[in-house]
Structure 1
């Protein structure tokens, strides 16, 4: 089945990213073309230095590209000016980073609602309640980040990304600072937000167990898409990664 434009939440077309020049030149992405389907949970994996975080940053408009095109829905990200990129990140994209990026002077609730406040929008009360209950933050909403554990701060960051229901959520190791139980709860919520509410999530992870929550796993090696897998299991992902690590030894 051919993917139509309306089915695609994010797309890279012949994407190249080059850092430096001459002997110091590093080619992070080498002609990557990939469609990320709307309403699906996609994981991006690969060995260290494979380009997975660079790809996500380029897709999200956080980094410029050397050559090629990036689209969020039907919006071409490449070529947008600062104002256009600001609107894109505010209205169409959500982020969950390994570092929490919470504002220390705001409460958990204020941090969660901040993107909506900036956009002049109000949260849907039923969805907000679902988000808060699922990430188990009901009794922490009045606390500032310094009063929260690392796991609680990451759950605030997850809730912040999800509450606005953006077109795409980009997640960079979203459970990297969570214990296994909290991580499983967040991943299950991300999974359910896709299955039950049509959210689109693109997650960079090194964890085969986290990737097993996805519908599809894209594997990068040396800046290129080298394989993909649908309906992944943790064991199958781990086996694939071992093969990629062997292939990229010394890279």
Structure 2
């Protein structure tokens, strides 16, 4: 078994999310698939972390467990000072609503709502009003001031994803999880989204964790974590696209036994 790069995470104010000895197993017997194998990772507050690895490496499973979208088979997970272990469905729903933001490859906007209504929807569901100054900051940062009354069908793909980004940011969550956020965008729109995510970290102290296959996208991050066979096997800080590509080529060439993405 390949050893973990990271030691078990220690408690501390610097972590937006962490996992200790995290296992995720699907099925049983001959059909059993081990998606995560004792993962230890700490995601620093105010940093942009990318998660990469070959298909089937467990990167999406790791993100889903950290975000409370999937339950761990064994191990400990926390978001901020909240432990996910033992939370019931109501507790997980509150955690996702209050402490976690999501940006997906599919924009997941409601077609009958305007851009502004889509952005404010999570707060409306929670019975909260936006902080006016922060809302203006978010809208200015994503460049949507002249598109707030438009519905999704009246927006380009890049604009729709910017609405999704603003929706994730407006509640000031503990951490934003982004799953292939540029996967459905052309290169120009994708670059706009990545630059926005980078600015939200650098200028506003947001914490972002992004799963991606794209070395250029990963180069916008402060840190890249590489998974293979359900384990963290390498990481880079201050990555460049070339350095990320080199690591990915090495991982793609290595055998992967029984993990699931």
Distance 1:203 1:186, change over 3 A: same
What is the CA distance between 1:250 and its match in structure 2?
8.3
Contact 1:45 1:52 (8 Å CA) reproduced = yes
What are the residue-to-residue correspondences of 1:1-251 with 2, within 5 Å? 4-248=11-255
Distance 1:121 1:139, change over 3 A: same
CA distance in 2, matches of 1:163, 1:175: 20
What SS does the corresponding residue of 1:96 show, helix, strand or coil?
A: strand
CA distance in 2, matches of 1:66, 1:210: 31
Superposed CA deviations along residues 54-83 of structure 1, whole A, max 9, x for unmatched, are 000000000011111110011111210011
Across the aligned residues of Structure 1 and Structure 2, the Cα RMSD in angstroms comes to: 1.6
**Structure 2, unpaired ranges of 5+:** 1-8
Contact 1:5 1:74 (8 Å CA) reproduced = no
CA distance in 1, matches of 2:155, 2:189: 14
What is the CA distance between 1:7 and its match in structure 2?
0.8
What SS does the corresponding residue of 1:181 show, helix, strand or coil?
A: helix
CA distance in 1, matches of 2:132, 2:101: 19
CA distance in 1, matches of 2:18, 2:94: 18
Partner of 2:6: none
What is the CA distance between 1:163 and its match in structure 2?
1.4
CA distance in 2, matches of 1:25, 1:52: 18
Q: Which has the higher contact order (CA 8 A, sep 6+)?
A: 2
What is the CA distance between 1:3 and its match in structure 2?
6.0
TM-score, normalised via structure 1 length:
0.95
Contact 1:20 1:26 (8 Å CA) reproduced = yes
Aligned residues, how many?
Answer: 250
What is the CA distance between 1:125 and its match in structure 2?
2.5
Distance 1:135 1:66, change over 3 A: same
CA distance in 2, matches of 1:249, 1:83: 37
CA distance in 2, matches of 1:191, 1:212: 10
CA distance in 2, matches of 1:4, 1:19: 29
What is the CA distance between 1:164 and its match in structure 2?
1.3
**Structure 1, unpaired ranges of 5+:** none
